[in-house]
Amino acid sequence: MSKRGVLTVISGFSGAGKGTLMKKLVEKYQYGLSVSATTRTPREGEVHGREYFFLSREEFEQMIDRKELIEWAEYVGNYYGTPKTYVEEQLAQGKDVILEIEIQGALQVRDIFPEASLVFVTPPTAKELRERLVSRGTEDIAAIDKRMNRAIEESKFMPQYDYIVINDKLEDCVEELHQLIEKEEQRQNSTNAPRETKDYKEFILKIQKELKELYA
Ligand code: 5GP
């Protein structure tokens, strides 16, 4: 039987360094990274078809109506969604595909592709998350506070993910993600035994507590 690619969905707190992580991961290991559609305006340096397909609300809604998206969500006033064709084609060709999407979308993907693994990437501590947002220097304190508050909400969904990956050192995190995908591929293409996941309860409770303490 020919090998089918595995689908990995990666989410994480905004500002946790996911963008850099994805870039490194696909550069080093040539995974297929799906390009999403969005209605938000491009940031400087972003190219249509590379970072996103930048669409009008009308165009996006047409894609919804035509069922051309695997999942979609509204996030901070804009639509974001994953086009179906690319993902389905790559998986059928045996290529592993990564979606870097927010939580509401990730949970929708699980309904459609129950075999997809859901990975949540997080900095080691809430303090570190805040420091990364501050050192990026792209947002003012009010915007940073908004992202931190969103992180409190997002942390409530962490227990629904299959894996939690701590993004402490970038290179280590890239390796951990790669190994996780490789293992998943072997599992899905052979025994299909249950996933070997760790118990993340303690870490989740710790970071939830830290986030709340920082913003109490
Ligand atoms: P940004 O505007 O910073 O590029 O992305 C904002 C959020 O949208 C990020 O959390 C990112 O993961 C998420 N996102 C990007 N593409 C998609 C998508 O196709 N679907 C969903 N549900 N979220 C997406």
Using N-to-C axis directions, what is the helix angle for 201-214 and 141-155, rounded to 10°? Answer: 150
Segment holding 83, helix H or strand E? strand 78-83
Q: What is the pLDDT of residues 186-202, one digit of tens each?
A: 898 887 788 888 899 99
Task: Name the pTM for this structure.
Answer: 0.94
Instruction: Report how far Cα 31 is from the mean position of its chain's Cα atoms.
Output: 14
Q: Is the pLDDT of residue 41 over 60?
A: yes
Q: What is the mean pLDDT of the chain?
A: 93
Q: Is the pLDDT of residue 11 over 90?
A: yes
Mutation to probe ligand 1, out of 55, 72, 75 (largest number of atoms < 8 A from CB): 75
- Tell me what pLDDT residue 122 has: 96
- Closest by CA position to 207, among listed 16, 20, 22, 17: 16
CA distance 19 to 31: 15
- Tell me the pLDDT band of 1, cut-offs 50, 70 and 90: low
Cβ atoms of residues 80 and 38 within 8 Å: yes
SS3 letters for 46-104? Answer: CCECCCEEECCHHHHHHHHHCCCEEEEEEECCEEEEEEHHHHHHHHHCCCCEEEECCHH
User: Would the CB of 15 count as within 6 Å of ligand 1?
Assistant: no
Q: Is the pLDDT of residue 136 over 90?
A: no
CA distance 180 to 161: 14
How many angstroms separate the alpha carbon of residue 89 from the centre of ligand 1?
21
Provide the CB-side half-sphere exposure for 123 (13 A, CA).
18
How many angstroms separate the alpha carbon of residue 85 from the centre of ligand 1?
18
How many angstroms separate the alpha carbon of residue 193 from the centre of ligand 1?
31
Amino acid present at 14:
S
- Tell me what pLDDT residue 79 has: 98
